[in-house]
Structure 1
């Protein structure tokens, strides 16, 4: 099964992140060589290519890793996701961010129910997405992918922070166990970028377009285990402030190795 998924990925746009051995380190942090993901020894927990269009505000998105972690589209105030062409296949576009203090806010997000296979514990964790957006799609900050919440529990998360720079977050069970790797490179120029987070050993890296753009130390004992959904595009459906108003494609989570 792994070989068939691997072959599929080689035909997908995510291949440069999952299969290439050429992830490099930009000038500046991190100072030591950042490791390349070892796809062959990891469990592919979930992969979403969005190549099956689902019309309207509700529906589902298939997990093409064949693990059955189907994502459900959730919406409020008339919000809806849209599927658009990213040749030769499709990508997903979230509703635009809301005007501050608007009476209503059209919003949408995706989530898959909790499954233990999506909890990395202390294992190697690699997750990310291709995304496209401008400063308006991010505002003061936007969540791309997360499982779990903080404070109040453990979490892994990819977000876009101040000045359009991605952040990778790992939070453990204990108070104060919050670790954030900040990218030195922004991604809000209206072009497609591949952004990924890698926790391995005692380091959390953030990658932009295959290059490590930042890192932070994470104790090997920090455990990420929770019973919350894997969510895409927002913290939750009620959230109006940290939503992502851009496009995403090739969302993945791999664990182990």
Structure 2
């Protein structure tokens, strides 16, 4: 009789697993958002976002003593920036394919700061009047970067960031290529007072904004590695190697534009979604 009771208890436990998982998925399925992010518009989010909870049981990332290149995601690395050469000359990626220039307005400045034996880039301080012409802005921007267009292929992009609780804002772009209005795009942002990172993509010829919003904040004054990845019909955001959010996307979604790659903001207009904090190890990887 005891054996039979144990078997019944085991079957009941297994049956409850999909019910709990489904409840968690439904609880995170709806995320509100702002407007489009074309020049002069507010930070983008999306009505079609689907977030998932952080995968439990994974170990926290440990800081390293010496800065080392991160392992390249599967596929062929399109470009990677370490910023270890500083900002005195055009910033070049590891392969020398896409140099970046400093663009600054209203007294905005970038500075190179130490990070794990190398350098990272600190962006202008937070402005009390978000979107005001008087706010200091500064970004890194490339020329046309058509070779980064993933089309319908799987790809990933991301960076390491350090954001203090006092540095969050309405809109804060880590990196972006393209726009959501009349264009296509992919971008990584840390929007909102909570400082939760999100991955955003918009397909060519479709104004729908797809957002994978992380279930956790990175605005704690410590370094975090954020990676966005598109795999078929799924957009995923991972923080420190742990999946923190996902969104369903059309398998046919294609990203193709002639826009530059921007780091730290989408441009230098007043409402440029200026990033506040420090950025390092930016990468974009396309499938082979």
> TM-score scaled by structure 1?
0.81
1:14, CA displacement in angstroms?
4.4
1:111 aligns with 2:141: yes
After superposition, the Cα gap between the structure-2 partners of 1:103 and 1:236, relative to the gap in structure 1 and judged at 3 Å, is closer
* Structure 1 CA distance for aligned equivalents of residues 242 and 149 of structure 2: 26
Hey, which bits of structure 1, 4+ residues long, moved more than 3 A? 11-14
1:146 aligns with 2:201: no
1:15 aligns with 2:15: no
Structure 1 alignment gaps of length 5 or more: 1-10, 19-36
Alignment match of 2:110 (pick from 81, 89, 94) = 81
* Structure 2 CA distance for aligned equivalents of residues 147 and 103 of structure 1: 23
After superposition, the Cα gap between the structure-2 partners of 1:141 and 1:14, relative to the gap in structure 1 and judged at 3 Å, is farther
- Look at both structures and tell me which one has the larger radius of gyration over its CA atoms: 2
Alignment match of 1:48 (pick from 73, 81, 92) = 81
Indicate conservation of the 8 Å contact 2:154/2:229, yes or no: yes
After superposition, the Cα gap between the structure-2 partners of 1:239 and 1:196, relative to the gap in structure 1 and judged at 3 Å, is farther
Which stretch shifts more, 95-104 or 43-52?
95-104
1:175, CA displacement in angstroms?
3.2
Per the alignment, residue 246 of structure 2 pairs with: 215
Indicate conservation of the 8 Å contact 1:138/1:243, yes or no: no
Alignment match of 2:158 (pick from 125, 128, 140) = 128
* Structure 1 CA distance for aligned equivalents of residues 182 and 173 of structure 2: 18
Indicate conservation of the 8 Å contact 1:45/1:67, yes or no: no
Q: How many residues align?
A: 221
> TM-score scaled by structure 2?
0.72
Compare the two structures and name the one with the higher strand fraction.
1
1:77, CA displacement in angstroms?
1.6
What secondary structure is seen at the aligned counterpart in 2 of 1:113? strand
1:113, CA displacement in angstroms?
1.1
